Amino acid sequence: MANLTDLTIAEAQAGLAKGDFSSKEITEAHITAIEVARDLNAFVTETPERALADAEASDKRRAAGNVGALDGLPIAIKDLFCTKGVKSTASSHMLDGFVPPYESTVTSKMVEAGMVMLGKTNLDEFAMGSSNETSYFGPVVNPWKRNSDDQPLVPGGSSGGSAAAVAARLCLAATGTDTGGSIRQPASFCGIVGMKPTYGRCSRWGIVAFASSLDQAGPMTRTVRDSAILLQSMVGFDPKDTTSSEMPVPDFQAVLGQDIKGLKIGIPSEYRVEGTDPEILALWDQGIKWLEDAGAEAVEVSLPRTKYALPAYYIIAPAEASSNLARYDGMRYGLRADGDSLAEVYENTRAEGFGAEVRRRILMGTYVLSAGYYDAYYIKAQKVRKLIADEFSSAFETVDAILTPAVPSAAFAHGEKSDDLLGMYLNDVMTVPASLAGLPGISVPAGLSSDGLPLGLQLITKAFDEETLFRVADILEQSAGFTARPGQKV
């Protein structure tokens, strides 16, 4: 029997169904893997007892012939999702020790589908970061290493713990959240599939908010099929989230295996961003060829406002964050620092509770919303956002999907970009435009850099067309034949 931690979700489902192994066995295998890999710091909270109880309950359900879509599958949850009775920290000192009395809608659906929860994964504090170095609980180590040195690398962020855990076989899959690239960028850095659905597909209820108009939950898996399977159990209209969509949810797996003959794939030259690794541009060209070989037609599309996406994002997201994080005031829950006056309690609590990056974004957001600057920054950024969305809409009048790199570079070393704020923010340059437009995007591992690190390609489709996204991603995955694994130098 293959190593139980190497299975895909689809394989594990088949094995469980046939009785090759029990949920308890596959869960125990993952609990052991997590213990062995603690150096990665992928988890903020491990929940082995909960996982075993979940697994035993699942095995009983299976014996009774009553199983859900995720029954018995060991999965990790990004610590941005509130989980009932389990500490939920957003990787912030502010919420260290916070145990919510409620379960987020997305994880509720997954619990109903029978998942086994292994624990809560590390992330950049309040999901603000692209390297998982801003976590109060310390950085996550990417299970991949360069051929050329042994330096610990970042897993990307903000869903860095989830990406590292999936790549290192510590869980079959994990949830992530993506605001400007927080699923797709770490997926690329860790050589896994990271998918952000259309804004509104997943309920945001019970997910600690970063930027409300951008935040979306999504699956982080090792295959495209697994991505479709997990997404199916995460989505759906939620009356508790006004921005969640009532659009019908298709069967995402149904399109897998279909060909892409005659599909038009848009190639936007604006994504040849200055400073992008030539290896990545070469991989992009390779990707175009794979899709053409599969019968699709590559079409040049123009998205000229792409260059304004990142600046607009770094106005809108911090603006919303500055307001969303105002509730962490030391009054009702979470950290509270003493002070001689009300103002001092606020100042001390928030100075102590928030890390440097979170404080920086709150300050930026507060600034751009201030009287006298609001029109120049926030309103202008919203106009840019509208133009970017319009540009995508007109591109999708002629093409079915857009192919771009997922990131401008491979994973970098811990500390390498700590003093280079703009360089750090540039990590999201490929992923942010689709976020601003609310479009679905997926990062598929497509090759290795010359230094042995995984690189991803990104597909984007029009809103609520996850079917085409998965259909093309499936072909891309097959063509790339990405089988490399972390820890095996090539």
State the Cα–Cα distance between residues 64 and 153, nearest whole angstrom. 46
Q: How far is the CB of 337 from another protein (least distance, A)?
A: 15
3 state DSSP class of 74: strand
Choice between 48 and 333, CB closer to another protein: 333
Complete DSSP assignment for 393-448: HHHTTT-SEEEEES-SS---BTTTTTT-HHHHHGGGTTTHHHHHHT--EEEEEEEE
Q: How far is the CB of 327 from another protein (least distance, A)?
A: 4
Tell me if residue 182 is catalytic: yes
State yes or no: residue 243 binds another protein (CB under 8 A).
Answer: yes
Q: How far is the CB of 344 from another protein (least distance, A)?
A: 12
Query: What sign results for the dihedral spanned by CA atoms 74, 80, 86, 91?
Result: positive
> In which residue are the tokens 């001689």 written?
340
Q: How far is the CB of 82 from another protein (least distance, A)?
A: 5
- Catalytic choice (182, 203, 227, 443): 182
Choice between 88 and 122, CB closer to another protein: 88
State yes or no: residue 323 binds another protein (CB under 8 A).
Answer: yes
State yes or no: residue 66 binds another protein (CB under 8 A).
Answer: no
Name which position in 99, 249, 346, 360 contacts another protein (CB under 8 A): 346
Q: How far is the CB of 316 from another protein (least distance, A)?
A: 9
Choice between 61 and 373, CB closer to another protein: 373
CA 392 to chain centre: 22
Residue 215 token pair = 């935040």
Residue 174 token pair = 């994990």
Choice between 124 and 400, CB closer to another protein: 124
Tell me if residue 245 is catalytic: no
Strands 193-196 and 441-448: what pairing? Answer: antiparallel
Stretch that binds another protein, among 42-50, 149-157, 201-209, 266-274 (CB under 8 A): 201-209
State the Cα–Cα distance between residues 272 and 299, nearest whole angstrom. 15
Contact by Cβ (8 Å): 233, 249: no
Q: How far is the CB of 392 from another protein (least distance, A)?
A: 20
Choice between 17 and 342, CB closer to another protein: 342
Cis peptide before 158 (omega within 30 of 0): yes
State the Cα–Cα distance between residues 284 and 389, nearest whole angstrom. 23
State the Cα–Cα distance between residues 229 and 254, nearest whole angstrom. 10
Overall residue count recorded for the chain in this entry: 490
Helices assigned H by DSSP within 168-220: 184-190
State the Cα–Cα distance between residues 332 and 94, nearest whole angstrom. 12
- Catalytic choice (91, 130, 135, 158): 158
Stretch that binds another protein, among 42-50, 109-117, 238-246, 383-391 (CB under 8 A): 238-246
- Phi/psi at 384 (nearest 5 deg)? -60, -45
Name which position in 51, 164, 211, 217 contacts another protein (CB under 8 A): 211
Residue 138 token pair = 């310390």
State yes or no: residue 342 binds another protein (CB under 8 A).
Answer: yes
Residue 9 token pair = 């979700």
Tell me if residue 158 is catalytic: yes
Choice between 30 and 361, CB closer to another protein: 361
Helices assigned H by DSSP within 135-197: 160-167, 184-190
Q: How far is the CB of 332 from another protein (least distance, A)?
A: 6
Q: Would you give the binding string for another protein spanning residues 357-376, x where CB under 8 A is met? A: ---------x--xxx--x--
Choice between 318 and 445, CB closer to another protein: 318
Which residues touch 248 (CB under 8 Å, ≥6 apart)? Answer: none
> Restricting to residues 375-434, which ones interact with another protein according to CB under 8 A?
378
Taking Cα atoms as reference points, which of 205, 210, 198, 238 lies closest to residue 468? 198
Name which position in 297, 329, 380, 386 contacts another protein (CB under 8 A): 329
State the Cα–Cα distance between residues 452 and 486, nearest whole angstrom. 9
- Catalytic choice (22, 23, 58, 78): 78
Choice between 240 and 289, CB closer to another protein: 240
Which DSSP state fits 145?
A: -
> In which residue are the tokens 């029990």 written?
22
Choice between 32 and 243, CB closer to another protein: 243
- Phi/psi at 122 (nearest 5 deg)? -65, 155
Total residues at the site for another protein (CB under 8 A)? 43
Q: Would you give the binding string for another protein spanning residues 82-121, x where CB under 8 A is met? A: x-----x-x----x--x-xxx-x-----------------
State yes or no: residue 242 binds another protein (CB under 8 A).
Answer: yes
Number of Cβ atoms within 10 Å of the Cβ of 21:
18
Stretch that binds another protein, among 182-190, 250-258, 319-327, 406-414 (CB under 8 A): 319-327
State yes or no: residue 213 binds another protein (CB under 8 A).
Answer: yes
Q: How far is the CB of 244 from another protein (least distance, A)?
A: 9
State yes or no: residue 209 binds another protein (CB under 8 A).
Answer: yes
- Just list the catalytic residues: 78, 158, 182
Q: What are the residues binding another protein (CB under 8 A)?
A: 81-82, 88, 90, 95, 98, 100-102, 104, 204-209, 211-213, 239-243, 319-320, 322-323, 325-327, 329, 331-333, 342, 346, 366, 369-371, 374, 378
